[in-house]
Amino acid sequence: MKNLLLFECKKTMKSLYFIMMLLALIVFVSFYFIYSYVHTERVDDYIYKNETIKSNFQSTVDELSSTEGNAANEKEIEFFIDEIAELDMLSEAARNHDWKTILQHEIDIGEEQVRLSPSQAEENVYTWPTHFTNEVVYEKNKWLMKHHIQPIFPIHNNSEITAYDRVSIQLQKKKLPMIFIISTIHLPYTFYILLLESV
């Protein structure tokens, strides 16, 4: 019996079908890991993105500082300076692999988004990402923090797409053209673009 089983295994492994299926499995697994690697944001990319945003904010602060000062400009300058300090803190945390700081920042943002974003249960309210997705990302980040797990970037709320987002997008494509017909009577080119995109 044992010899018969070994004989059948050898015969199967030598068959062209088995070799093709094994090769297809290896290719599939390889493509999965390559796809995951390509779509994962590296720490250097995260830092570079923060530094780019920071330089844009700094140029905005410089522009606002060069104009005549008023209370509105001072508030905007203060806002951008706070954002620059926050980006510096996040970049430094990423350089030091301090995931707790980065996750806590994302949890704070997620908590505010979950609290402020309207629920999809409300009639005629369409958001992207949906309220459900905001909750999913918020809870995922809390879970990562609780279990001291290094996050895989990106971890912000726009990095996830759930089934609710796909359904919400399809509903919006069906309902948006009718809304924009009324609101864009004076801007017909906007309506045509939306009409083409929804087809």
Neighbours of 49 (CB within 10 A): 16
Residue 191's pLDDT band (cuts 50, 70, 90): very low
Q: Average of pLDDT values for 11-38?
A: 87
pLDDT above 50: residue 192: no
Top-confidence range, 13-22, 38-47, 76-85: 76-85
Q: What pTM was estimated for this model as a whole?
A: 0.63
pLDDT greater at residue 182 or residue 3: 3
70 or 30, which is more confident: 30
What digits encode the pLDDT tens for the residues 95-151?
998 889 988 999 998 888 888 776 666 655 666 777 788 888 888 889 988 998 888
Q: What does the alpha-carbon distance between residue 176 and residue 194 come to, in Å, rounded to a whole number?
A: 8
Per-residue model confidence as pLDDT tens digits over 11-21: 777 788 888 88
Query: Alpha-carbon distance 41 to 155, whole Å?
Result: 9
**Position 48, amino acid:** Y
Establish whether the linkage from the previous residue to 129 is cis, with ω within 30° of 0: yes
